């Protein structure tokens, strides 16, 4: 007979094992548990508790949470599903950690729990929630890992890998080197950006001739960083946007709008048309005057043309 089914263990003996809905759970449900937790500064063995039990028609799962004065994580680990058809009394279920906080990654939690009986839950479909006062785990249930690097994640362009554990090999790439040194305080890794050193990859653009860059403006070179400042003066405003520089006159602004300018354009077009008509009339008048001069000139050349006949 399992003696733990008659006491509160692995819960603390001062807990009630009653949910927020005042549902009291039997001691025969959890009869043993062991959780291995990676060492994280600030966490204690007295902050872990059963945060919820979710019951389905065919089985159940339960979750482990953590809470202290500074931290409240509703879920740090979840049990594997417990199926009623295949369940046998005092069987073992695996518990695995999940990442619920970017600051506290407890996804490396691993443990097991022994369930004495699940008959109490078969007709209680839904989720029952608990507080740490109701379901705090005994400190002996928790086992913190050694104070060490428990895992490594790599972030590139916003994408983060899963936790890398075990033996992780850091490999230098093109124009890059990694140096490992030992010190009294531990081991140091130095990441260096280098020029070539046998690691430079072939470049397809090595023979491409680049256009000359701007070195001076009006024979004026830049400062030590190559910068040239364009400063506005009276009535001159300098504005920049992306790779564009705009110079604007803030004093001289048009006094007429589009409607007024359209009237002026119409008058100018009418004046141009009248000027063309006037030029034509002047040409006609000039031709008439020329003809009259020719007639008059012919009359003065022959003085006998008008003399009386003899």
**pLDDT, tens digit, 9 for 90 and up, residues 147-200:** 666 677 788 877 888 777 777 888 887 778 888 888 887 788 888 887 766 665
Phi and psi at 15, nearest 5°, equal: -80, 165
- Could you give the CA distance from residue 197 to residue 173 in angstroms, rounded to a whole number? 11
Of all residues in the chain, what percent carry a pLDDT higher than 70? 86
- Average pLDDT along the chain: 83
Q: 262 in helix, strand or coil?
A: helix
Determine the Cα–Cα distance for residues 11 and 25; give it in Å rounded to an integer.
Answer: 12
What pLDDT is attached to residue 91? 92
Report the pLDDT averaged over residues 111-138. 92
Instruction: Report, as an integer, the average pLDDT of 52-72.
Output: 92
pTM over 0.75: no
**Residue 85: pLDDT above 50?**
yes
**What are the helix (H) ranges across the chain?**
132-135, 258-301
**Which element (helix H / strand E) includes 93?**
strand 91-97
Question: Contact 192/177 with Cβ under 8 angstroms?
Answer: yes
Q: Per-residue pLDDT tens for 198-207?
A: 665 666 666 6
pLDDT at 30: 92
Which DSSP string do the residues of 295-307 spell out, in sequence order? HHHHHHH-TTTTP
Query: From CA 103, how far away is CA 114, in angstroms rounded?
Result: 31
| The pair of three-digit structure tokens given for residue 233, joined into one six-digit string | 């003066």
Q: What was the pLDDT predicted at 141?
A: 93
Q: What is the residue-wise DSSP string for 240-254?
A: EETTEEEEEESS---
Indicate if the pLDDT at residue 27 is higher than 50. Answer: yes
Locus of tokens 């506290």: 104
Q: How confident is residue 1, by pLDDT bands cut at 50, 70 and 90?
A: very low
Model pLDDT, residue 156: 80
Quote the pLDDT of residue 176. 82
> Does the pLDDT value for residue 50 go beyond 50?
yes
User: What digits encode the pLDDT tens for the residues 246-287?
Assistant: 888 888 766 667 787 788 888 888 888 888 888 888 888 888
- Statement: residue 79 has pLDDT above 90: yes
**pLDDT tens digits for 221-235?**
888 878 888 888 888
Strand pairing of 30-37 and 142-144?
parallel
Question: For residue 94, what pLDDT band results from cuts at 50, 70 and 90?
Answer: very high
Q: Domains for the chain: give ranges and CATH numbers.
A: 3-144 (2.60.40)
């Amino acid at each position: 007979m399992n003696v733990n089914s008659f006491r509160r263990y692995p819960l603390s003996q001062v807990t009630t094992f009653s949910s927020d809905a005042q549902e009291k759970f039997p001691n025969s449900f959890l009869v043993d548990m062991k959780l291995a937790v990676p060492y994280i500064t600030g966490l204690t063995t007295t902050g872990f508790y059963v945060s919820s039990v979710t019951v389905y028609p065919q089985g159940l799962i339960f979750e482990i949470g953590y809470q202290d004065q500074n931290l409240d994580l509703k879920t740090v680990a979840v049990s594997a599903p417990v199926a009623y058809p295949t369940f046998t009394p005092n069987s073992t279920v695996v518990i695995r950690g999940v990442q619920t906080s970017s600051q506290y990654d407890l996804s490396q939690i691993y443990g097991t729990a022994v369930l004495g009986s699940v008959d109490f839950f078969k007709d209680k479909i839904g989720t029952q929630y608990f507080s740490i006062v109701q379901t705090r785990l005994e400190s002996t249930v928790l086992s913190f890992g050694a104070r060490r690097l428990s895992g490594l994640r790599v972030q590139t362009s916003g994408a983060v890998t899963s936790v890398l554990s075990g033996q992780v090999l850091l490999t230098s790439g093109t124009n890059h080197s990694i140096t490992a040194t030992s010190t009294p305080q531990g081991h140091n890794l130095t990441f260096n950006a280098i020029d070539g050193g046998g690691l430079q990859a072939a470049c397809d653009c090595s023979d491409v001739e680049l256009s000359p860059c701007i070195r001076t403006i009006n024979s004026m070179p830049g400062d030590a960083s190559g910068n040239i400042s364009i400063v506005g003066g009276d009535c001159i405003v300098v504005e920049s946007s992306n790779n564009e520089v705009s110079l604007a006159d803030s004093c001289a602004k048009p006094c007429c709008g589009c409607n007024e300018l359209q009237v002026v354009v119409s008058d100018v077009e009418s004046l141009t048309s009248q000027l063309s008509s006037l030029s034509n009339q002047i040409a006609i008048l000039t031709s008439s005057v020329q003809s009259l001069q020719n007639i008059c000139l012919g009359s003065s050349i022959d003085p006998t043309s008008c003399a009386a006949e003899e």
